[in-house]
Amino acid sequence: MTDGPISEPSPAIRVLLVEDDDFNRLLLTDYLTHHGYQVLGLAEGSSFFSTLAQFQPHVVLLDLKLP
């Protein structure tokens, strides 16, 4: 029996990862997912703004040298 109310688990922090290198994107996605983050990876920045509006991430990790 617990002393206080049982709280619902908090939702995962959403991370939008924009990385054009497939290996790096997969590696970071696996690592962050393993640590409990909800990750959405993009291979290019062309759909960034529409994805940003739909996914509403808490954090954006962005490759600075995208083509």
Residue-wise pLDDT for 5-16, tens only, equals: 665 556 789 999
What pLDDT, on a 0 to 100 scale, did the predictor assign at position 22?
Answer: 96
Q: What is the pTM of this model?
A: 0.81
> For residue 59, what are the contacts with CB-CB under 8 A and spacing of at least 6?
13, 14, 15, 16
**Sequence ranges of the domains in the chain:** 10-46
Apex 39 CA angle, 6 and 54, nearest 5: 95
39-65, pLDDT tens digit by residue?
Answer: 999 999 899 999 999 999 999 999 888
